[in-house]
Amino acid sequence: MNTIAGTRAHPVNHGRAQAPGQASTSAENLSEAEIRQRKMALRSSVIGTALEWYDFFLYGTAAAIVFNVLFFTKLDPMIGTLAAFGSYALGFVVRPLGGFVFGHIGDKIGRKNVLVVTLVMMGLSTTLIGVLPTYASIGIAAPILLTLLRLVQGFAAGAEFGGAVTMSAEYAPPDKRGYYASWPGVGVALGVVLSAGAFALVRMMPEADFMSYGWRIPFLLSSVGLAVGIYIRLFVQESPTFEKMKQRKTVAKAPIKAVWQEQKRSLLIAIGARFSENTAGYIFQVWALSYLTAQLKVEASVGLMAVLIGASIGALLNPFWGALSDRVGRRPVYILGILVMILGAFPFFWMLETRETPMIIGAFVMMIVFGLYPMFSVQAAFFAELFPPSMRMSGICCARELSSVITGGMAPVIATGLLAYYGGSYYPIIGYIMFMGGVALVALLIAPETRGIVYDEEQ
């Protein structure tokens, strides 16, 4: 019997998980209007998430290349980098608060409204960074304002991906939930590609022009994405699962409280599972850019190109990993990514140390495509199936954002601190990566296999 301990909702078939291929709802039973709405929901998840995470990753890229120079000017270069990544990490500190607030709202009044509000918050804060005066113009007020805008980004990001995953999973037929829920991950990958690509283009400008105004262009472009994203999301209808809960009056009165009281085991499993994926995301897509330029003296464009290639391939393969999990289960695919991260940590740094462009690109492709994205893709359906619909968005947001504080947000800071303390040696960073992978591996080994789980509230 494939069940999840601690849930009040029971899988269909008298408490048994519904096996893939036995879904009670399929595309053939839907009207044309319902099929169109499902496709629109997927497009909305991909495009909206891409735009929002373009904004969020843009800050990390700028922290590695620009902010340490223009906003933390009076500090030693290494300390300036630490300070820049510190402001970057603060965005993760407020993410749990955003996850709690918006997750609660999403489970109480609906997923759609949350996704519109978070997109507006993220887009406006990113655009304002693009017009923010530097330290040379307004002194200490510059890093303070930069940090405040980063906090707004973090608050909005606390529910964006959780909301998009919830929406996609609840529009999906149960036997294809891994595939459908993986599409918001494509949006995140595209956000990385767009942010790295935008910076790669402006880095081609003369250095003086780039540092003067060129770095602002990617941030200002966020205003265009904001308009497009709002237009798309306003046309998407509410999740069919949430509509059923409203009709049946099963909407939770206090979803956040219910998660902590009834879903502790699922919550801890989800938090532990994120240790590897989130650390990998921000070590290999953000911090490694700083390592290449500051430590190895490699041209910044090389690292940006490597991330661009890795994230592009990752975006293309993300639905493949999701579909594979529909056939073999969530846990095997997730564990594959963890093992690549653990076993690939040393080869990754060895390949960077060669300072050869093909080797650097190969290193990033190895860790991003085969380490990060198998975990990231499957995580969407895995988390959606761990929590019942009445508290699903709260559960996903709580798990993701609590783990983000100690994994993704702190990863660049911890890696930079280890590098400074140990005189530039990357071995302690390898140990850090392997430890985080070990925590995730334990979480996956004690986790239930959730593939095929369907709750009564979804029927």
Looking up tokens 């767009």 gives 194
- What's the token pair of residue 309? 């290639």
* CA gap 57, 78 in Å, rounded: 21
Cα 94 to Cα 86, 91, 99, 101, 298, distances in angstroms: 13, 6, 9, 11, 33
What is the DSSP code (8-state) at residue 283?
Answer: I
- Report how far residue 55's alpha carbon sits from residue 52's, in angstroms, rounded to the nearest whole number: 5
Distance CA 48, CA 123 (A): 11
Cβ burial of 303 (10 Å; 0-12, 13-18, 19+) is buried
Q: What is the pLDDT, as a whole number, of residue 2? A: 38
Tokens, residue 345: 């940590």
C-alpha 50: how far from its chain's center? Answer: 10
pTM to 2 decimals? Answer: 0.80
Query: Rounded to a whole number, what is the largest CA-CA distance in the chain?
Result: 68
Helices (H), 253-372: 255-262, 264-282, 288-290, 300-328, 330-353, 357-367
Domains parsed from the chain with CATH numbers: 12-458 (1.20.1250.20)
Contact 307, 196 (CB under 8 A): yes
Strand partners, 455: 11
The predicted pLDDT at position 356 comes to: 94
pLDDT in 10s for each residue of the chain, 459 residues: 334 443 444 443 333 344 333 333 444 466 777 777 788 888 888 887 888 778 877 887 787 678 777 876 655 555 556 666 666 667 777 888 888 899 989 898 888 888 888 888 988 988 999 999 988 888 888 888 888 888 888 888 888 888 888 888 888 888 899 999 999 888 887 887 888 788 889 988 998 898 888 989 999 998 888 888 888 788 788 888 888 888 888 888 888 888 988 999 999 999 999 999 999 888 988 889 889 988 899 988 898 889 889 988 988 999 999 999 999 999 999 999 999 999 999 999 999 999 999 999 999 999 999 999 999 999 999 999 999 999 999 999 989 888 887 787 688 889 989 998 898 899 999 999 999 999 999 999 999 999 988 876 666
Q: Which two tokens stand for residue 106?
A: 């999403």
Q: How far apart are CA 317 and CA 320, in angstroms?
A: 5
Amino acid 396 reads: I
The strand pairing partners of 365, in sequence order, are none
| CA dist., res. 383 & res. 399, Å (int) | 9
Cα–Cα distance between 101 and 258 in angstroms, integer?
14
431 Cβ contact list (under 8 Å, min separation 6): none
Confidence at residue 83, expressed as pLDDT on a 0 to 100 scale: 63
Cα–Cα dist 58/16, whole Å: 44
Beta partners for 11?
Answer: 455
